[in-house]
Structure 1
């Protein structure tokens, strides 16, 4: 799963054939991987395992994604604490996106468990956004859909995906005055952070004793 382009399903398929490490994939005959994964995917996975990537390098290209992770001090069983961590991460991602003039079209949640296994899920957003509440809502939905209940979680990470310049993205207009108010408050928070530092303002729900903080 450390290979770019290898998701959970592909990783499980490879592991079922004993190809459970990058080294074993690199040593496997290309024809074997193509038979297991299909011609195109098998070829790409074999090349990536051997350090071959023909993708052109574009100097100073804009980032396509950005992420942040929180590692808990101990394996976390409390869903409320995990939600507070997600709130902090989403708030951090939104601020970074707005600061760089970008918006995200998708959000990915990665949960790492006590046994070091991981679960990754991606959700397309309703529209390109860098709005903290929208990112938080998507993060909560991804977390709830996993149905973790009493899972022992070691860390959670959020990644804003499929980024584009904010001025190139259309924003869905809303007639809800609370939505406009939320955006105005967010702009005020951004100004306060720009003047007094990133730690000047945080969502109230994260100001709980022992609150997790984002680790970029």
Structure 2
């Protein structure tokens, strides 16, 4: 049986959420981000017209579009609206994957026997618009890659169906940048040898691609040819991430304890970013030598930034550890998780910090999660 996959994407989601709160934002350039030294988390199509884009420094965005309205953003409201959309979809569709805070994959395979898949998806999208007020685009095709590319071409407020026989004619004229796994480095590499459109990439010998870009060459060739066997993974929300350290001997060494907390925070924050989570609750746990166990937690703005999480973790530890007895265990937990892309994490942070985290994460992915880190956390690495 041929697969039928739909990809749904909430158009300029953060901006749309803000416009629900304030209709005066309709039709004007809007930038979601933080501070003069922060970066653009999202922007309206009116702002994109002037060249503004996600992850651009706020100061550069305002040079391109001085009239833009800059809004700090509200993760909690965005998360709430995202969950409302998720519930609407789950009520209507048997198999849903929540790929991020604002995009979803639906496996509609076999449903065309009872109800046209395109019409079914249309009704889901209209239900979302009616119940939440949020604009949404979608594409229906044979797999996740083609459906996602289709949604990108359909936006804003677009709907498109790409049957099997039309997949390659649809893909061929598009830029290779439209393929989800093609970043700037890969694009520049392929552009230098004249490969700028999907048609050219699809016609390349797969072994040549593998020699050029390594093991991802075969996967890239498949996507250029509209081939993608990856399944829609049923959505289930992770509740928390946690780590604990048990001392070899009960300890009262405060400097060592703070170093251990620093190392645990850094490792968990890296995991948050890798799995595209943001946390809103930090909890510290300690266990004394007599096995008494105590915890303290606080709610924070959604983030996955090491330095922000470490600040709260150390503050909680200072408030919690008051008995000055020896400890046998320290633990930390991040909960209240929501999905979010990397640029979402840094509303309060600078372009320099964002670049630092991205560079550190790349090194950890390549050489292992303990390859680089704060000196203060080296004691547990």
* TM-score, length basis structure 2: 0.37
Partner residue, 1:166: 340
Residues 1-216 of structure 1: pairs in structure 2 closer than 5 A = 61-125=236-300, 127-148=301-322, 150-167=324-341, 173-174=347-348, 179-207=350-378, 211-213=379-381
CA contact (8 A) 1:67 1:93 kept: yes
Structure 1 residues 212 and 171: alpha-carbon distance in aligned structure 2, compared to 1, 3 A threshold: closer
| CA distance in structure 2 between the partners assigned to 1:124 and 1:81 by the alignment | 26
State the 1:149 CA deviation: 6.0
Aligned residues: 149
Relative to structure 1, is the Cα distance of residues 78 and 187 closer, same or farther in structure 2, using a 3 angstrom cutoff? same
Residues 171/182 of structure 1: CA separation in 2 closer, same or farther (3 Å cut): closer
Q: CA RMSD in A?
A: 2.3
Q: Find the structure with the greater CA-based Rg.
A: 2
Report the alpha carbon displacement of residue 111 of structure 1 after superposing the two structures with TM.
Answer: 0.4
Q: Unaligned regions of 5+ residues in structure 1, if any?
A: 1-58
- Per-residue deviation at 1:170? 5.9
**1:91-113 deviations in whole A, cap 9, x for unaligned?**
01100000000000111111011
Distance 1:212 1:111, change over 3 A: same
Structure 2 unaligned runs (5+)?
Answer: 1-233
Using the alignment, how far apart are the partners of 2:279 and 2:343 within structure 1?
10
Residues 68 and 158 of structure 1 are in contact (CA less than 8 Å); yes or no, is this contact kept in structure 2?
A: yes
Cα deviation 1:124-157 (Å, max 9, x = unaligned): 11x1011111111110000111243632111111
